[in-house]
Structure 1
């Protein structure tokens, strides 16, 4: 098992030039199993997905190890009366699972988003009940498990139960992230 120091793991804007790297997770059925998208079968389709859904996204970053994109992380704001909250989502190539990369990236994203979006009070994330690995990432990153929401999320057309997690701007670990990242 490879081990990476915190300094090896960074987040930065995802770019079309990362196409060969992002194909590693966009084409991996183990990765797409718990994602809203199906595994891409061509580089062109994955690039088009990035053009259509990533480049104009308000906050979407590549998760990098030693400068190479191995996954992505995004924060999507809610609007209207819900603009005090946003949803976090992330994906990491299966070759990089279990190495602390996603946990570190989630901590960095939480730090950045609470600084960049001063109005934000709540960052939330959902993980399909069967996706125990993603639940563990959120717990290790300091998110609080709030409970199971039944048939909350459509995954490939099928309603799924999810576990809701949150991190509040007032949680002690948020200030810790801001002071130590």
Structure 2
């Protein structure tokens, strides 16, 4: 499992972005949800001033969207033709978790 959290800089320093990757052979075992819960639990104390954690997920990646929802992230919207992945420009869903939200 690879999980990364990157705090913003400059005007974006109140937010951080999260990304993850998990080998397909381990999907459906709750590993990504558990790792994300642990990270969210600590992120707001580790990165002083961060009040918002963001995640971008491909529209087609329903599994990752579900992981975010299980932890308590809120879907905020669709970014059309936003990211280049797998040889094409794809839409991305933006999700967030605020320091005032509750981990589920």
Q: Secondary structure at the match of 2:100?
A: coil
| Partner in structure 1 of residue 85 of structure 2 | 155
| Partner in structure 2 of residue 9 of structure 1 | none
Structure 2 length-normalised TM: 0.93
Q: Is residue 101 from structure 1 mapped to residue 31 from structure 2 by the alignment?
A: yes
| Partner in structure 2 of residue 78 of structure 1 | 8
Could you tell me which runs of 5 or more consecutive residues in structure 1 were left unpaired when the two chains were aligned. Answer: 1-70, 177-181
Q: Is residue 91 from structure 1 mapped to residue 7 from structure 2 by the alignment?
A: no
Q: Secondary structure at the match of 2:97?
A: strand
Report the count of equivalent residues: 104
CA shift, 1:78, in A, is 1.5
Higher helix share: 1
Higher strand share: 2
Q: Secondary structure at the match of 2:77?
A: strand
Q: Is residue 139 from structure 1 mapped to residue 60 from structure 2 by the alignment?
A: no
| Partner in structure 2 of residue 113 of structure 1 | 43
CA shift, 1:170, in A, is 1.2
CA shift, 1:168, in A, is 0.4
Structure with the greater alpha carbon radius of gyration: 1
Could you tell me which runs of 5 or more consecutive residues in structure 2 were left unpaired when the two chains were aligned. Answer: none
- Where do 1:1-181 residues align within 5 Å? 71-171=1-101, 173-174=102-103
Separation in 2, partners of 1:78, 1:118: 11
Structure 1 runs (4+) greater than 3 angstroms displaced: none
Separation in 2, partners of 1:85, 1:159: 25
Superposed CA RMSD in Å reads 1.4
CA shift, 1:115, in A, is 1.5
